[in-house]
Amino acid sequence: MRYLFGAIFVISLLSGSGASAQYMHHRFCLQTGSSQECAFDTLSQCRAGKHSERDSCVRNTAPMNHAR
């Protein structure tokens, strides 16, 4: 019985975590080949994430009306 309650508790924690997540708009994107990762708030953070000289940092053009 104790294991059943533990399992229910863990499942409720895991299922509730996705519902409370909000979209976070980051200002800069790192372009590497054909992929783009928009996870940087500053240009210097983006530049630090570069893997090669061919990578580039660009301003994120996603809408700004999302929750921060």
Q: What is the pLDDT of residues 18-48, one digit of tens each?
A: 444 456 789 999 999 889 999 999 999 999 9
List the domain range (segments joined by +) for residue 45. 24-63
Residue linked to tokens 């500053």: 42
Q: Which two tokens stand for residue 19?
A: 């519902």
Half-sphere exposure (Cβ direction) of 10: Cα atoms closer than 13 Å:
6
1 found inside a domain: no
Domain count, the chain: 1
Please state the rounded mean pLDDT for residues 44-57.
95
pLDDT at 11 over 90: no
- Predicted local distance difference test score (pLDDT) of residue 24: 72
19 found inside a domain: no
Half-sphere exposure (Cβ direction) of 62: Cα atoms closer than 13 Å:
17
37 found inside a domain: yes
38 found inside a domain: yes
What is this structure's pTM? Answer: 0.57
